[in-house]
Structure 1
Amino acid sequence: MRTQVEAVMTTDVVAVSEEAPFKEIVRALRSHGVDAVPVVRLDKSVCGVVSATDLLLKEADPGAAEDPHPLAGPRRRREIRKSAGTAARDLMTTPAITISPTATVEEAARLMRREHVSRLPVTDPETGCLAGIVSRSDVLRVYSRPDEQIREDVVNDVIAGQFGLEPKLYSVNVERGQVSVQGDVERRSQIPQLLHAIRRVEGVVSAEGRLEWAVDDTYAQHYPTI
């Protein structure tokens, strides 16, 4: 079973209102040691996120709004707005990139990577209200799983469950999240499939196999005309 976001997220979330002034946001970031905060409406629904990067534009380009170029593109217009902004509604990035509490940790990691963000507001899928926040360090908590739990998942969920193999015929060793498996498979093509499935088990750092096969069904793939 994949770990869901609600199991690792932080529920005591630092958030600011749309009307929060610039200096209040700076204090919130500094006092709580975070690099971004969700911006919420009166009904607690999330409307955006203000990051330290958004705020730095005021210091990096304080005169941006003095003489805006008429042909400025969307990105430059956003920079001008944020540089001149005095409250969260002008400084935030919107719409916010959010995730559901029932999404998996793997889905959260993929979304963070794709969107180049370090944390995601977690919102109720029905109301849009803020339920928590999940950070990269929260996502990495799956790697604190004990080796024995990882081994049980490899044996029961992958070897027996996904591949229908007899677990007693395989030697599985897990050390610091690194999995090694020994045994025999019917077809050689099963080996990369098996290792791929093992690498997707939560907490697995690496997987290698010392596996023998009865039939080399990869030969025809390399030499289809023979």
Structure 2
Amino acid sequence: MKIDEVMTRDVITTSPGTPIHEAARLMVNHTISGLPVVGDAGTLVGVISEGDLILRQRQRDRQPWWRTFFQDGERLAREYQKAAGTTVGEVMTAAVISVSPDLPIESAAVILDRHHIRRLPVVAGGQLVGIVSRGDLVKALSTAPAPAVASASDTALCAEMKARLSREPWVSNRAIVVQAKDGVLALWGLVSTEAEKSAIETMARAVPGAKGVESHLVVQAEIPYWYGAV
């Protein structure tokens, strides 16, 4: 699925010359946390968000005098402009991460997560054509049909599960017994922690073609001290 299938096309925007209080009112009235900033030709020139407004307020407070020794003049000048600015263009974030309409939504999700942002402007031919948010991606995920899973033989299921176990460094027991019958994976063995046990069970459920999982894994700490004593 591509971004242009899930993005919002009717985008609320603002311009560099818009007063800060008007941009803030737009966010409140439309219940959004950010606005793309477009120039006269409809080109994307920046983004202003709640974070920019909050940072502006923080920077208006007087900073300790010694702070100037640890920052270069250019950065201090930018911070001053953001703190004292009265228009969107003076406060906005100009270095904008944008995406194209034909980008897969999986790639958009990676970008949002990697850069810790909530939305991505969508640009085509230099023009803003939409915006895609985390909510749009979640909505697409909720409506997407479940992928078809091909059946697999018991032998293939065991081989795939063993291969997955061997690739993970956190698996403490390299001798876990894996069996399969009628598409149901069965796991036997000792593991170090409850977290490891749960992760291995999740791994088994994710094996393509597995119809179910029977876990007989045991956490070592839960074994009575007299277990196996002569």
TM over 0.5: yes
Where 1:16 maps in the other structure, the secondary structure is coil
- The answer for the alignment partner of 1:82 in structure 2 is 82
Alignment CA distance shift 1:143-1:183 (3 Å): farther
Could you tell me how far apart the structure 1 residues matched to 2:62 and 2:41 are? 33
Could you tell me how far apart the structure 1 residues matched to 2:80 and 2:71 are? 10
Shift of 1:60: 2.4
- The answer for the alignment partner of 1:122 in structure 2 is 122
Shift of 1:139: 0.6
Is 2:9 the partner of 1:11? Answer: yes
- Give deviations 1:89-110, integer Å, cap 9, x for gaps: 1111122111111001101100
- The answer for the alignment partner of 1:42 in structure 2 is 40
Where 2:206 maps in the other structure, the secondary structure is strand
| Structure 1 ranges of 4+ moved more than 6 A | none
Is 2:105 the partner of 1:105? Answer: yes
Q: Give the unaligned 5+ runs of structure 2.
A: 165-204, 212-230
Matches of residues 18-33 of structure 1 in structure 2 within 5 Å? 18-33=16-31
Could you tell me how far apart the structure 1 residues matched to 2:92 and 2:107 are? 24
TM-score (norm 1): 0.64
Could you tell me how far apart the structure 2 residues matched to 1:64 and 1:85 are? 16
Alignment CA distance shift 1:185-1:6 (3 Å): farther
Could you tell me how far apart the structure 1 residues matched to 2:45 and 2:69 are? 28
Shift of 1:185: 4.2
Shift of 1:75: 5.7
Match of 1:144 among 142, 165, 169: 142
- Give deviations 1:159-204, integer Å, cap 9, x for gaps: 4xxxxxxxxxx2xxxxxxxxxxx643448443467xxxxxxxxxxx
Shift of 1:84: 1.3
TM-score (norm 2): 0.63
Alignment CA distance shift 1:106-1:32 (3 Å): same
Who wins on radius of gyration, i.e. which is larger?
A: 2
